[in-house]
Amino acid sequence: MSLGPVMLDLEGTALTETERRLLTHPRAGGVILFTRNFESLGQLTELVREIHALRTPRLLVAVDHEGGRVQRFREGFTRLPAAARFGEQYDRNHARGRELAQMAGWLMAAELRAVGVDFSFAPVLDLAHGVSGVIGDRAFHRDPEVVADLAHHYMSGMQHAGMAAVGKHFPGHGGVREDSHLALPVDRRTPADLYTDILPFERMVRFGLAGIMPAHVVYERCNLLPAGFSSYWLRGELRDRLGFEGVIFSDDLSMAGAECMGDYPDRARAALKAGCDMVLVCNHPEQAARVLDALDDEPDPVSIARLARMHGRKGISWGELTDSDEWQKAKAVIGALDDSPLMELDV
């Protein structure tokens, strides 16, 4: 059974029989985990093992684990700083900022791989325009070249730990005030003005970025559909102009920014038709089931091949990781950077 185009979530810390049934549906392809799915390192490791054991090839297991406000797993994991901390370090010393970003990318990815998680939806490539509260300090910097530089080093750290990176939120969420979880933001800038926001994505595509998540934002002077449902953005700009060959993941179809596209099956079909390889349906299991049953077309073989490259590599036990000099150094250095309260934020 190949990987399907739908990523689902779970209710709690162990699989239910209903969830097992949904995850063996031929259109299922992955699971995204949240804080509610985490109780302890041992429990999480077993949960991921069970998910992976359900079918072959194994389902993808993902999480939003950026650091700062967006860190799903807490007790036992290193408390990671927000991306803006690396931008601040970069402004003081470019080389040190790059070094810290690479170390943080490795630390985040190594800890997740030690419990079996395949990848994190990171790094954020949005610019810190000072407009968007939902982005805020999740962005590395205001300067697109600095964002690209730091993100490149962060991705290199992730790759060293055996994890592929997913940049978000194409073509840039930082220029709108509204939160797409709660409303449909409209960016009224010209295509020329949007170039600065797109630049980090362009650079990262050249550096070999494996995945991209588009924004539930309308860029009305370019196209009237939200980017994640727009072939103009996904096929025309991302695939054709930028030459991106990796996976395109939709943002959560449950967000308010997706409601304009109809019911859940309509949203999923629209996103896939526009160019997404995998769609996320979170916090509504009954709607996830509807989406699975509504997708009649056979998965695109090209999408299946792209998704297969998102499986985590390497991966050592938690004990082996924490005994290593590399982890102990990274934990001490990166842990000392964090000075912000850890809060839950759905992304």
Question: Cα–Cα distance between 209 and 28 in angstroms, integer?
Answer: 24
Among residues 9, 118, 179, 251, the one annotated as catalytic is 251
Q: Is the peptide bond before 341 cis (omega within 30 degrees of 0)?
A: no
Q: Is the peptide bond before 301 cis (omega within 30 degrees of 0)?
A: no
> What's the CATH number of domain 6-327, 1.10.760.10, 3.40.50.300, 3.20.20.300, 3.40.50.170?
3.20.20.300
At 347 the pLDDT is: 45
pLDDT in tens, the chain (347 residues): 799 999 999 999 999 999 999 999 999 999 999 999 999 999 999 999 999 999 999 999 999 999 999 999 999 999 999 999 999 999 999 999 999 999 999 999 999 999 999 999 999 999 999 999 899 999 999 999 999 999 999 999 999 999 999 999 999 999 998 888 989 999 999 999 999 999 999 999 999 999 999 999 999 999 999 999 999 999 999 999 999 999 999 999 999 999 999 999 999 999 999 999 999 999 999 999 999 999 988 888 999 999 999 999 988 999 999 999 999 999 999 988 865 443 444 44
At 345 the pLDDT is: 40
- Give the pair of three-digit tokens for residue 64: 């939003």
At 339 the pLDDT is: 52
Quickly list H helices, the chain: 17-23, 41-53, 84-92, 94-114, 144-160, 191-206, 231, 264-274, 285-294, 301-308, 318-323, 325-335
> If DSSP codes are grouped into helix, strand and coil, which group holds residue 190?
coil
Question: Cα–Cα distance between 121 and 133 in angstroms, integer?
Answer: 19
Question: Cα–Cα distance between 308 and 290 in angstroms, integer?
Answer: 24
At 204 the pLDDT is: 98
Question: Cα–Cα distance between 322 and 320 in angstroms, integer?
Answer: 6
> In the chain, where are the structural domains located?
6-327
Closest CA to 77 of 102, 43, 41: 41
- What does pTM read for this prediction? 0.95
Terminal Cα distance for the chain, rounded: 30
Among residues 181, 266, 284, 346, the one annotated as catalytic is 181
Structure-token match 């699975």, residue found: 292
Is residue 287 within 8 Å of residue 264, measured between CB atoms? yes
Question: Cα–Cα distance between 317 and 213 in angstroms, integer?
Answer: 29
181 labelled catalytic: yes
